[in-house]
Amino acid sequence: MHKYSIAFYTLLRKEIVRFFRIWSQTLLPPAITMTLYFVIFGQMIGSKIPEIKGYSYMQYIAPGLIMMSVITSAYNNVVASFFGARFQKSIEELLVAPLPQPLLLLGFTMGGVARGLTTGLIVTGISLFFTHLHVQHPWLIIFVVMLTSTLFSLAGFTNGLFAKKFDDISIIPTFVLTPLTYFGGVFYSINELGEPWHSLSLFNPILYMVNAFRDGILGISDVNITYAIVIMLGLTILLFIGNWYLLHKGIGIRT
């Protein structure tokens, strides 16, 4: 096996083992949180809301809640792991290892993807206790989940590069990621919004991810799926190149 492959595999394995080892902090909280969402919004409130595009409210919000767990888990995994490596100075060992910067970036990113997918599967299993999901486009589901978890893993890496202290890794998830998620069409259809809120919602990238995933499961969407995929691909490529450039310049890893 090539030395680069060994280094990449070792980093990826470390990332996966890390979040499984502390499963009570990485996998259990989103499972509990999403269960509460299903109970409160799906059963208590959803029972009083009419069908949306032929589906019950519980069925309608299930894809959005799954995607929300994927987004937050992928992001949090990378930002916490990479900043922790910086804080503990262990990042220096990775920098001198036979591992090119793109593979270093990819190793952390794929670790976030692994946690995002694991959490998504857990929440999907939970959702089946509350409703039935009729999968319409399985390949679209896989593609969207992989692309979304990759995108937010890269975003978490960017946050980890610029963070100066532990408080900094919670600012973006709290004040940017959470609001965008709530206003990303998880709990409602943007077609029900009046102006200017409908038009403003179209600038929220999470809207396209949620609707693309919902289209894969239920076959319904508020946005054009082709546009959604182009936007996700464009942001992913942009973030990968941007993070690679930051690594090359030593931003956040060289003093």
Percentage, residues of the chain above pLDDT 90:
58
For residue 11, pLDDT beyond 60:
yes
Q: Which residues fall within 8 angstroms of residue 240, CB to CB, at 6 or more apart?
A: 105, 109, 154
Distances (CA, A) of 88 to 26, 92, 165: 20, 9, 12
- Confidence class of residue 42 from pLDDT cuts 50, 70 and 90? confident
Burial of residue 71 (CB within 10 Å: 0-12, 13-18, 19+) is buried
- Considering only residues 92 and 131, tell me which one the structure prediction assigns the higher pLDDT: 131
Crossing angle of the two packed helices 225-249 and 101-127, in degrees rounded to 10: 140
Closest CA to 186 of 65, 38, 59: 65
Residue-wise pLDDT for 138-154, tens only, equals 999 999 999 999 999 99
pLDDT tens-digit profile of 68-78? 999 999 999 99
For residue 22, the model assigns a pLDDT of: 92
State pLDDT tens for residues 45-66. Answer: 777 888 888 898 999 999 999 9
The answer to whether residues 134 and 141 touch, using CB atoms and an 8 Å cutoff, is no
Rounded mean pLDDT of the chain?
90
- For residue 92, the cross-strand partners are none
Main-chain dihedrals φ then ψ at residue 52, nearest 5 degrees: -115, 115
| Averaged pLDDT, 226-242 | 96
For position 7, what pLDDT does the model report?
A: 82
- pTM value? 0.93
- C-alpha span between 24 and 102 (Å, rounded): 31
Distance (Å, whole) CA 190 – CA 228 = 15
152 alpha-carbon distance from chain centroid? 5
pLDDT tier at 1, thresholds 50, 70, 90: low
Q: What percent of the chain has pLDDT over 70?
A: 98
Q: What is the mean pLDDT of residues 146-172?
A: 92
Q: Please tell me the predicted confidence (pLDDT) of residue 248.
A: 86
User: Distance (Å, rounded) from C-alpha 118 to C-alpha 221?
Assistant: 25
Stretch 239-253: mean pLDDT: 89
Sign of CA dihedral 152, 129, 26, 174: positive
What do you get for the CA distance between the two ends of the chain, in Å? Answer: 34
How confident is the model at residue 216, as a pLDDT? Answer: 95
Q: Which residues pair with 55 in a beta bridge?
A: 52
pLDDT for residue 254: 64
pLDDT tens digits for 176-231? 888 999 889 899 889 888 888 889 999 999 999 999 999 999 999 999 999 999 99
- Nearest Cα neighbor of 185 from 193, 177, 174, 194 is 193
Tokens standing for residue 46:
């959803």
Q: How confident is the model at residue 137 (pLDDT cuts 50, 70, 90)?
A: very high
Q: What are the residue ranges spanned by the domains of the chain?
A: 3-249
pLDDT above 70: residue 124: yes
Mean pLDDT value of segment 9-17: 92
